[in-house]
């Protein structure tokens, strides 16, 4: 348990930074654009939302609605005692098998929920729950151990170095009574929220240890399909990179071959040039060398008459 608490703090900070950054908005927009590129049937399948059961408590009466996103699929209004006698309509809303709701949300009336807007030091963000528990008796008529509470950071005032926090708290007795009512109907809520003018506040006042969740097989299938799509995308990208690597290696081999051929051509050109230069040198020497008749004429003029020559070198 201690290790979970140690790991939960940095994960919570990462979750908050992700929520505050523009990455979440971009990914949502990107996902919507990708879905819009798909055929309508595929888009409807991938955008499947699990059904949830919304229960509004009003004393001994319950207003129950089965919702899928913003769509109302069925509702009823009855007392707990009448539902205990005949719960067929309730069972129809809860559903069975694949059609069973994935969440059961209890929306408490505004009179049972206390809501405060707090200004806290920026340093309180890392231990927000502990700070709120310490401030509980100052902000509400109850102590921290007498209420269940939840909070979210609305915004950060950088100039004042403060956090604007929305705090919602409900006495434990109210939650216990609501859980007892639902327990009589064999229902276990996953979320306990407040409501204002029939709209949920968007909190969860139910402690994590008391939450239950109904597994939706279609959501699991969607996750499997999504992971499969990611895996296939990774395989395609790997194959593309492998093909590019092989193409690059082939190009490098061609470049090396062309380089060798260029070197051979340069060597042959050098040899031809040297041969031409040598031939030209011999030709020049041959041209520069005086003819034999000219040598004999020169010797005749230089050697006196009566001189005999045995050999001319």
Q: Judge whether residue 126 has pLDDT over 70.
A: yes
Q: What digits encode the pLDDT tens for the residues 278-288?
A: 888 878 877 77
Q: What digits encode the pLDDT tens for the residues 130-158?
A: 888 888 888 788 888 888 888 888 888 77
Cα diameter, the chain:
164
Give the start-to-end residue ranges of the domains of the chain.
49-114+143-149+167-212, 216-304
The sheet that has 61-68: what strands, in order across it?
71-79, 61-68, 52-58, 103-108, 191-196, 199-200
Length of the chain: 313
67 neighbors 56 (Cβ within 8 angstroms): no
Query: 64 falls in which pLDDT band (50, 70, 90)?
Result: confident
Rounded CA-CA distance 292/305 in Å is 20
Angle at 35 between CA 227 and CA 102, to 5 degrees: 60
Q: What digits encode the pLDDT tens for the residues 181-223?
A: 888 888 888 888 888 777 788 888 888 777 766 555 566 666 7
* pLDDT reported for residue 8: 57
Taking residues 59-87, report their average pLDDT: 83
* Half-sphere exposure of residue 240: CA atoms within 13 angstroms, side-chain side: 6
Helix 2-20 and helix 23-36, axial crossing angle in degrees, nearest 10: 70
Instruction: Indicate the class that CATH gives domain 49-114+143-149+167-212.
Output: alpha beta
pTM (whole model) above 0.75: no
For residue 127, which of 9, 253, 3 has the smallest C-alpha distance?
9
């Amino acid at each position: 348990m201690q290790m979970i608490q140690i790991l939960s703090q940095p994960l919570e900070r990462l979750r908050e930074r992700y929520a505050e950054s523009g990455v979440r908005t971009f990914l949502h927009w990107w996902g919507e654009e990708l879905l819009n590129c798909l055929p309508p049937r595929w888009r409807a399948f991938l955008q499947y939302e699990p059904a949830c059961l919304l229960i509004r408590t009003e004393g001994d009466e319950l207003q129950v609605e089965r919702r899928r996103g913003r769509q109302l699929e069925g509702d009823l209004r009855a007392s707990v005692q009448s539902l205990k006698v005949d719960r067929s309509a309730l069972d129809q809303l809860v559903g069975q098998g694949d059609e069973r709701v994935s969440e059961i949300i209890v929306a408490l009336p505004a009179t049972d929920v206390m809501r405060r807007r707090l200004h806290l030091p920026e340093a309180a963000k890392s231990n927000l729950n502990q700070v709120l528990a310490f401030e509980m008796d100052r902000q509400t008529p109850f102590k921290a151990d007498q209420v269940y509470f939840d909070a979210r950071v609305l915004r950060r005032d950088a100039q004042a170095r403060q956090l604007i926090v929305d705090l919602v708290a409900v006495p434990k007795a109210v939650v216990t009574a609501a859980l007892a009512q639902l327990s009589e109907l064999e229902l276990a809520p996953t979320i306990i929220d407040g409501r204002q003018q029939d709209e949920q506040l968007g909190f969860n006042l139910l402690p994590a240890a008391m939450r239950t969740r109904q597994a939706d097989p279609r959501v699991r299938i969607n996750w499997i399909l999504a992971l499969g799509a990611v895996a296939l995308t990774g395989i395609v990208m790997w194959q593309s990179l492998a093909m590019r690597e092989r193409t690059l290696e082939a190009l490098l081999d061609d470049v090396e071959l062309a380089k060798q051929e260029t070197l051979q051509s340069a060597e042959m050109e050098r040899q031809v040039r040297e041969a031409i230069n040598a031939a030209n040198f011999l030709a020049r020497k041959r041209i520069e060398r005086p003819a034999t008749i000219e040598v004999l004429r020169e010797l005749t003029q230089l050697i006196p008459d009566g001189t005999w020559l045995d050999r001319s070198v």
